[in-house]
Chains A and B, each alone.
Chain A
Amino acid sequence: MESKTGTWIEKKGLAQMLKGGVIMDVVNAEQAKIAEDAGACAVMALERVPADIRADGGVARMSDPDMILKIIDAVSIPVMAKCRIGHFVEAQILEAIGVDYIDESEVLTPADEEHHILKHNFKVPFVCGCRNIGEALRRIGEGAAMIRTKGEAGTGDVVEAVRHARTVIGAIRQLQTMGDEELMTFAKNNGAPYELVKEVKLTGRMPVVNFAAGGVATPADAALMMQLGVDGVFVGSGIFKSGDPARRAAAIVKAVTHYQDASILAEVSKNLGEAMVGRNVSQMPEGEKLAGRGW
């Protein structure tokens, strides 16, 4: 019997397996093990978490393949890695070493300020960030098989994650109430592919799995994003920049499963030690914000 690999169903399907789960940023094999033991459904392998990328400045690039391979060897769960926006050769390298998902990420310094990667050209699936439905559907049009709302990475401030999730989910609700004759104008105004706008109206949801990212630091933050309607969460700096990473990681995993059960949320929120030191996004200069990267 003939079999096919790298299909759209395969790409989208892996993201569906991650639903209801937490994807954690890790910078070495030891952290990857801690994340897996805490119940992470996948890890994001990168050299510096976003909080450190912010602090260090300079150009942030794809991580050393050797470091990513060590993480792949250390855990049995899927391993994701980031490439720069538009840097399709970094993506080719990540595909060649066998990462399970590529994040074309605004957290790294963009390599192209006009174009994203044509992700349909790859067998490996991609996740991309978005702030609104237009950006989400443009990325899906390019072949992203999973979307995450961007939030503001490396801040520990959930306000942008909430803004972006509400914006995307609000637009989906708005589409439900629109007549078919209004959809082309909606597509024009939002810079979104028309066919995908039609699909969202028809199904009442994003065409691919949608996680929240950027600023989630506590179990309550994670459950907040779930109650707003996302399918799962990415936690970047929030875990390994906190006082007790293993404990906080396990608590956030439980909070995402039991996001509607306030008594369980209260239980898992107890005695977690210091949360990461946050940075208030509303007091941050525009030039320092990462979410604006993406076209």
Chain B
Amino acid sequence: MKIGVLALQGDFAEHISMLKKLGVSTAEVRLPKHLDGLDGLIIPGGESTTIGKLAVAYDLMQPLKQFGQRHAVWGTCAGAIFLSKDISRNDQPLLGLMDIKVQRNAFGRQVDSFETDLEIDELMRVTGTEHPYHAVFIRAPLIESVHGNAKILSALDDGRIVAAQEGHLLATSFHPELTSDTRFHEYFISLAS
């Protein structure tokens, strides 16, 4: 099992250290050739505009789309934006792999960034645990709606969607890589296997 982390910009090192904790081989992906031999890919948190521009500049868009058709891909925060099909604006590159509509900076500015506990049934079932998942949201996007085969994985108490899954593709508004709870990474590895 080898999981790559898109290392154009953002907190890719934090994802790599979570994966290493779980005993998984890792690779930093900056160019198309770095996708060779990977079983899955994480697109980290960061600035989605920066990540998108660098992906275009180094001809990664098509290889990433092709990779995502066959392999597990997980986007956290900026990564979720980049994975989505629609963000209600037309000024940044998107992979369009997941049939979800995302709203950027949906919760406000940095002073509005928050931590909260989430009940995520599927995550608890797969990892055989019962305690809630403590999620860290930073200038977070919101998943406005899911379409087609995409399903809601988790929502806030008021119903706003913060995690979605479409087959082997996963999107979270929050940052499991900033916590010490490895359950989301374990869940992703189960999708990549």
Contacts and interface: CB of A to CB of B under 8 A. Distances in A.
A101 B138 CA distance: 13
B13 A19 contact: yes
B14 A100 contact: no
Contacts of B109: 72, 98-100
A281 interface: no
A36 B46 contact: no
Contacts of B111: 5-6, 95, 98, 123-124
Interface string B78-96: 1000000000000000000
A42 B10 CA distance: 12
Contact of B10 (A10, A17, A36): A17
Interface stretch (A44-52, A55-63, A175-183, A250-258): A250-258
Given A2-B116, A20-B8, A254-B54, A14 B138 contact: yes
A14 B110 CA distance: 8
Contact of B117 (A1, A6, A42, A253): A1
Contacts of B53: 37-39, 250, 253
A10 B115 contact: yes
Contacts of A253: 50, 53-54
Interface in B10-61: 10-14, 30, 45-47, 49-50, 53-54, 57
A14 B78 CA distance: 12
A42 B47 contact: yes
Contacts of B14: 16
Which bracket fits the contact residues of B?
35 or more
Contact of A21 (B9, B116, B138): B9
A41 interface: yes
A19 B30 contact: no
Interface string B90-123: 0000000000000011001111111111100000
A17 B156 CA distance: 23
**Residue of B46, B104, B111 contacting most chain A CB atoms (<10 Å):** B111
A290 to B, nearest CB: 26
Among B14, B30, B47, find the residue whose CB has the most chain A CB atoms closer than 10 A. Answer: B47
A214 interface: no
A17 B77 contact: yes
A5 B8 contact: no
Interface in B144-182: 156-157, 175, 178-179
Interface residues of A, number: 43
Contacts of A277: none
A254 B157 contact: no
A20 B46 contact: yes
B7 interface: yes
Nearest to B138: A13
Given A1-B117, A77-B47, A17 B110 contact: no
Which 3 A-B residue pairings sit nearest by Cβ, starting from the closest?
A: A3-B116, A100-B110, A39-B53
Interface string A55-97: 0000000000000000010001110000000000000000100
A91 to B, nearest CB: 12
Interface in A29-45: 36-42
A1 B175 CA distance: 18
B49 A76 contact: yes
Nearest to A20: B9
Interface in A250-295: 250, 253-254, 256-258, 261
Given A77-B47, A78-B110, A19 B115 contact: no
B136 interface: yes
A257 B8 contact: yes
A123 B109 CA distance: 11
Contact of B11 (A4, A16, A95, A123): A16
Nearest to A260: B30
